[in-house]
């Protein structure tokens, strides 16, 4: 079963604009991670935020986590054509040694 629901399901923006994706989850978590997947290939880890952290940055990526609302957002600034991909959130749940993935957001950057 899916733990995370991502919103929106699909997003198209112009190159250079910022892209924001949201993830909601249901249970208590140890950490939340974001991954990128280029068309039908393996996933690439982008960033991990722990349950006691509220914000984290990595290059053009900014992730926030609100455990009271059970939600997270991923912001990609100054988007590039190479950012076109599907983005997934995944939660590391207490009591399980596994990740549960969300439904994903398909991001298209228009040159």
Q: Which of helix, strand or coil describes residue 42? A: coil
41 touches other proteins by CB under 8 A:
yes
Q: Which of helix, strand or coil describes residue 23? A: strand
Q: Can you read off the two tokens belonging to residue 60?
A: 């053009």
Using the minimum distance from each CB to other proteins, give the nearer residue, 88 or 109. Answer: 88
99 touches other proteins by CB under 8 A:
yes
Which residues pair with residue 109 across a beta bridge?
13
Residues 48-67 that bind other proteins (CB under 8 A): 48
Residues 4-33 as x/- pattern, contact with other proteins by CB under 8 A:
--------------------------xx-x
Cα–Cα distance, 59 to 55 (Å, whole number):
13
Cα–Cα distance, 89 to 11 (Å, whole number):
15
111 touches other proteins by CB under 8 A:
no
Enumerate binding residues for other proteins (CB under 8 A): 1-2, 30-31, 33, 35, 40-45, 48, 88, 92-93, 96-104
């Amino acid at each position: 079963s899916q733990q995370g629901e991502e919103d929106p399901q699909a997003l198209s923006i112009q190159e250079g604009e910022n892209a924001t994706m949201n993830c909601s989850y249901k249970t208590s978590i140890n950490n939340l991670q974001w991954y990128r997947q280029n068309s039908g290939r393996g996933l690439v880890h982008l960033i991990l935020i722990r349950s006691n952290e509220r914000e984290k940055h990595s290059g053009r990526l900014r992730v926030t986590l609100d455990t009271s609302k059970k939600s997270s957002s991923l912001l990609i600034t100054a988007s590039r054509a190479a950012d076109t991909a599907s983005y997934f959130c995944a939660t590391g749940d207490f009591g399980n040694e596994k990740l549960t993935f969300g439904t994903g957001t398909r991001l298209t950057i228009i040159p």
